Structure 1
């Protein structure tokens, strides 16, 4: 994969700004409906050519059945994202808020409250999804009603992620990236910002923080053998160790990293189908590995020749850690607001339930009112009397990126630069 497609990313972003701006001049809302994007340095535009070598990446992948054909445009078709949002006991309210902040009718969503959550909490989440006028009309939010028992740091977390990915493939699979989040995650950009920026990226990229320098984890995680009771019990219990220890694998190389990632549709296909058996072999190994969510996908992708050169070494998150890092990151509060914005990351974690910083993110970064969806180009309803304009769904391919797209562009240009892209792949 050549890095020269960073040029179409920058060029396309600027072209989209011009076309969207001209479009909004004639819209009822006027030019204020679109926040302006910043221009990249002129050096990014010097090699512009009428022939685009990455036109294949821009081919439409989905067409709404009731839309009129759009005129030819220089804009690539927006991608579609598939989200897993998971939680446990007491996370139902936070999960609903995160879902509202992440929603876009072109995406797909799977939500999961694990078996430790009481039945009434899971039923409340189910009813919320079923009764929401947009979720029920569009039909792109699915709850896993037969809940899984998920043990912290155990392989059941990996099994739950693979379960959600399989559900999303079965539901149609018309998406480009799979993103796993928890109820304590929250977006820092709108979906229009994210879809706009990802429109210009090759769709085989995998955003996954990873390293083969496992250090202390070799003794404390790779060599011990753990058992996860969640694999065979109905009541949650912590993982436990057995006396025997094992050697570091020689059949494949171990990698570790963040448990949060954005994986391509093609790589998810590979993990589910496993046509050369590597995903299954590694999965069975990680069944006895402590904190397997921080190693399974990383080890598979970096040992698969087909995918090792598709990695972008970043988890797309702002996370605040101690130095050196402890088991858990800091809870994010108002004092982290500037750091979150300056990180240019599209997501952050870990947030306390209904912390005031979430209200600040809603107001300043997402323009989201309490209990409402995040406004985007697809929202065509009335705003009178404080109504949610997103209760009326328009053309889901229309994007109105704002300042979040500018920040995200800066992050992408940095991650895909000469210094950071190839040199950080599966090292």
Structure 2
């Protein structure tokens, strides 16, 4: 099963998201496997690909396998690398992609940097897309890019359970041991999405406006085109996500994407990023937070107090507690890739997920009607 969380929706006005295609999908979901993707050969041949070299055990009692898509724009390759190291685990699959605002040399530099890391080379589970395309973060081309990334990950290695998309400005609030532990007890058909929006009723007139995203077919990112004409509101489906309108999936959704967005707080508090803000961020139980600037001091605090990550290093875990920069797939320090050792964050996250799923399954439909 795949998992979606559309990072392109961060910071955008929900009205614009609805204009783009009734809704901008922000979902952890299993939709990627129900489509027959047509992947151009060029997309795969342009991939800087590392061949998987470690056998992963799956099944009852084993942690799941996650597929991460990390997207970024011009000048964000270093942020993407830092995020990659903060969420790395040999069990998972990773796909990094810079959009069309980046140069070919920047994409090549990112690929070479990944290939030069001994752990990434040893386990062969990190890939970089060498060819990019236009993406308007407020349009449906952003959704298209996420679906394309899922298709590429399925082509590289289809043996994963959830698909998680992150932007270069995201950062984890839990270790991979914690996250994998929490998801071990979650039914594989559960989709973590955030689909409720209380402002939809007030902005119904904006939903009727026709919007075209030229970035779907142009080589360079283009502004959205707003037509003068309007259309009637759809009556064949609710203004939710695709999952909520699908009989197969509308009772498998949980209205929580485990993401803390700093924009949801008072702007003055966002500027301070003080201890109280940091504590509030952790109290939500979210697994990730956004947006952070490059080398933001709060990231150092997360590395130090939560991830136990050294500068430029990976996050230690049950799989590798020694100096990962010198580990290889055959070294004893990296021999426990099928087990995880969660801390208090992982235990609390597992409890939170269990409560969310229980609360959702007690309702007639987890996708509430407007």
SS of the residue corresponding to residue 98 of structure 1 reads helix
Asked if the contact 2:70–2:165 (Cα under 8 Å) also holds between the matched residues in 1, the reply is yes
* 1:307 counterpart residue number: 249
Higher RCO (CA-CA < 8 Å; seq separation 6+): 2
Matched, 1:316 2:258: yes
Aligned residues between the structures: 309
Report the Cα distance in structure 1 between the residues aligned to 2:327 and 2:362, rounded to whole angstroms: 38
Deviation at 1:419, TM superposition (A): 7.2
Alignment partner, residue 243 of structure 1: 228
Selected match of 2:311 from 370, 383, 396: 370
1:251 deviates by 2.0
Secondary structure of 2:251's match?
Answer: helix
Aligned to 2:160: 175
TM-score (norm 1): 0.67
**1:333 maps to 2:266:** no
1:219 match = 205
Preserved CA contact (<8 Å) 2:251 2:365: no
SS at match of 2:244: helix
Task: Find the counterpart in structure 1 of residue 132 from structure 2.
Answer: 147
Any idea what SS the aligned residue of 2:263 has? coil
* Deviation digits for residues 85-119 of structure 1 (CA, Å, limit 9, x no counterpart): 11111211111110110111100111110011122
State the Cα distance separating 1:389 from its structure 2 match: 6.8
Question: For 1:181, what is the secondary structure of its paired residue?
Answer: strand
Q: What SS does structure 1 have at the residue aligned with 2:188?
A: coil
SS of corresponding position for 2:289? strand
Deviation string 1:339-394 (CA, Å, 9 cap, x unpaired) is 1211111111111111000000001000000111111111154x4xxx74766532
- Structure 1 Cα separation of the partners of residues 270 and 140 of structure 2: 24
Query: In the alignment, does 2:344 pair up with 1:344?
Result: no
- Out of 227, 237, 242, the position equivalent to 1:252 is 237
The structure-2 alpha-carbon separation of the partners of 1:66 and 1:358, relative to structure 1 and needing over 3 Å to count, comes to: closer
Q: What is the aligned partner in structure 1 of residue 150 from structure 2? A: 165
CA RMSD of aligned residues (A): 2.7
Aligned: 1:121 with 2:143 = no
Deviation of the 1:148 alpha carbon: 1.9
Q: Any idea what SS the aligned residue of 2:227 has?
A: strand
1:254-293 Cα deviation digits (max 9, x unpaired) = 11xxxxxxxxxxxxxxxxxxxxxxxxxxxxxxxxxxxxxx
Contiguous gaps of at least 5 residues in structure 1: 1-63, 256-297
Residues 125, 217 of structure 1: alpha-carbon distance in 2 compared, 3 angstrom cutoff: farther
Partner Cα separation in structure 2 for residue 202 and residue 66 of structure 1 = 23
Looking at structure 1, the residues matched to 354 and 301 of structure 2 have their Cα atoms a distance apart, in angstroms, of 27
| Shift of residue 163, structure 1, vs aligned partner | 0.3
Larger radius of gyration: 1
Per-residue Cα deviation, 1:396-424 (whole angstroms, up to 9, x for no partner): 11211112213312422331344786367
Alignment CA distance shift 1:237-1:187 (3 Å): same
Identify the range of structure 1 (211-220 vs 100-109) with the bigger mean alpha-carbon deviation.
Answer: 211-220
- Name the CA shift for 1:96/1:186 in 2 (closer, same or farther; >3 Å): same
- Structure 1 residue matching 2:235: 3-state secondary structure: coil
Q: Which runs of 4+ in 1 moved over 6 A?
A: 64-67
Q: Which runs of 5+ in 2 are unaligned?
A: 1-52
Give the drift of 1:210.
Answer: 1.0
Deviates more, 1:223-232 or 1:165-174: 223-232
Q: Distance in 2 between matches of 1:418 and 1:114?
A: 39
Q: How does 1:253-272 map to 2 (within 5 A)?
A: 253-255=238-240
Do structure 1's residue 132 and structure 2's residue 73 form an aligned pair? no
Distance in 1, Cα, partners of 2:103 & 2:250: 41
Residue 422 of structure 1 aligns to a residue whose secondary structure is coil
